[in-house]
């Protein structure tokens, strides 16, 4: 997924000399090819993210199309005010890439983990928030971002977990995408980002379940969400982000707004920082976001709500 992004970046920059890449001294090796092919469109702004966002605003104001790359722990979190005032208030066409979202930097600890970025950005007017689940969605998201002419944040999580789509995705702004559909749906799994891969695996164990991926967190097609959840018994939302202010909250808000009465099980980071160090898989377990922990949570939730759900016979 990261290579897809790097390749698209080169393609975009070679097609349009107004496309410029700014990085806050991150992306070692990722941009080697870009630097080679488009050296005049590459700017390492140094470890100075606040200034980098302001500079991107100035470049956008003078007709350029900046793409700003950073780790999502810094872009957007460290520069939230610059995003609000310098970019979004003026609706400037700047694409922000937040890499390593969630707990990807499992061994580096809290400073490099990012599980509140969606929540922090959602309240800012004019921002578009995209969160691709795989390379196909990344491609579609990047295209949407380029066409949008406003400030876009692309959240890039764990990038090497495999694909959820076996074909290129045709994405319209706000749309959610079916990944697994059944004629009758009791459980709707709605996920965003890399965790959609886990959602698919979990869903395969439940009969009458469907899985939807949400690459557009803002804006989001509320009517489509309502159609998807309307005749089901329960929703499970999944995200590698806090259970507060992210996808779980978005779906709950929509269900509430349209008076769709059904239980919503929100799977995500349960309002805690990481305590331990370890590999990605280990950190997922710590946050109970590994397959087994998620399944346990879901089944406990079903029990709590007296939901009778049938499993696929093994």
Partner 1 sequence: MNFNVINLRKTVLKMAFAGSTVHIACAFSLIEIMAVLYRNHLHFPEGRFDDPNRDYLILSKGHGVMAQYACFRELNWIDENAIENYFSNGSKLKGLSDAHISGIEVTSGSLGHGLSVGVGMALGAKLKGSKQRVFAIIGDGEMNEGSIWEALLFAAHFELSNLLVIVDKNNFQAMGTTDEVLKLGNLKKKLEAFDFETREIDGHDEAIIDKTILELLNSNTKKPKAIVAHTIKGKGISFMENNNCWHYTRLTSETYKQALKELDIKN
Return residues touching partner 1 (CB under 8 A).
20, 40, 43, 45-46, 48, 50-64, 81-82, 85-86, 89-90
Strand 177-180 to 209-213 pairing:
antiparallel
In the complex with partner 1, the residue whose CB is nearer, 80 or 108, is: 80
In the complex with partner 1, the residue whose CB is nearer, 56 or 213, is: 56
In the complex with partner 1, the residue whose CB is nearer, 151 or 194, is: 151
In the complex with partner 1, the residue whose CB is nearer, 63 or 259, is: 63
What DSSP element (H or E) covers 52? helix 49-61
Please, what is the angle between helix 2-15 and helix 135-148, to 10°?
30
Residue 109 CB, shortest distance to partner 1, in Å, is 23
Residue 19 CB, shortest distance to partner 1, in Å, is 12
**DSSP states along 153-172:** EEE-----S--S-SS-----
8 touches 31 (CB < 8 A): no
In the complex with partner 1, the residue whose CB is nearer, 56 or 175, is: 56
Q: Quote the distance between the C-alpha of residue 68 and its chain's center.
A: 16
In the complex with partner 1, the residue whose CB is nearer, 53 or 254, is: 53
Backbone angles phi, psi at 271, to 5 degrees: 55, 45
**Sheet with 234-242, edge to edge strand ranges:** 177-180, 209-213, 187-191, 234-242, 264-269
Residue 101 CB, shortest distance to partner 1, in Å, is 24
Bond before 76 cis per omega within 30 degrees: yes
Residue 122 CB, shortest distance to partner 1, in Å, is 20
Residue 146 CB, shortest distance to partner 1, in Å, is 19
Residue 124 CB, shortest distance to partner 1, in Å, is 14
Q: Burial of 304 by CB count in 10 Å (0-12 exposed, 13-18 middle, 19+ buried)?
A: exposed
């Amino acid at each position: 997924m990261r290579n897809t992004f790097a390749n698209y970046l080169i393609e975009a920059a070679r097609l349009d000399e107004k496309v410029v890449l700014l990085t806050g001294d991150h992306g070692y090796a990722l941009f080697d090819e870009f630097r080679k092919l488009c050296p005049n469109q590459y700017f390492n702004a140094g470890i100075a993210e606040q200034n980098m966002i302001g500079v991107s605003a100035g470049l956008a104001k003078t007709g350029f199309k900046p793409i700003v790359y950073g780790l999502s722990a810094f872009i957007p979190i460290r520069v939230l005010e610059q995003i609000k005032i310098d970019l979004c208030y003026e609706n400037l066409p700047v694409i922000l890439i937040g890499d390593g979202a969630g707990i990807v930097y499992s061994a580096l600890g809290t400073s490099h983990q990012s599980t509140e970025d969606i929540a922090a950005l959602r309240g800012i007017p004019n921002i578009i928030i995209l969160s691709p689940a795989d390379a196909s969605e990344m491609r579609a998201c990047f295209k949407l971002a380029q066409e949008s002419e406003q400030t876009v944040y692309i959240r890039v999580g764990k990038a090497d977990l495999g694909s959820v789509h076996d074909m290129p995705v045709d994405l319209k702004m706000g749309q959610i995408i079916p990944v697994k559909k059944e004629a009758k749906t009791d459980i709707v799994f709605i996920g965003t980002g890399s965790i959609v891969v886990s959602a698919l695996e979990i869903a395969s164990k439940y009969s009458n379940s469907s899985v939807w991926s949400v690459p557009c967190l803002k804006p989001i097609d509320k009517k489509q969400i309502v159609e998807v959840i309307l005749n089901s018994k329960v929703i499970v939302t999944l995200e590698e982000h806090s259970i507060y202010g992210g996808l779980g909250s978005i779906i709950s808000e929509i269900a509430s707004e349209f008076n769709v009465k059904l239980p919503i099980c929100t799977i995500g980071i349960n309002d805690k920082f990481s305590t331990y160090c370890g590999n990605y898989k280990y950190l997922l377990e710590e946050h109970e976001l590994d397959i087994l922990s998620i399944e346990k949570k879901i089944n406990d939730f079903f029990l709590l709500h007296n939901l009778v759900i049938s499993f696929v016979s093994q």
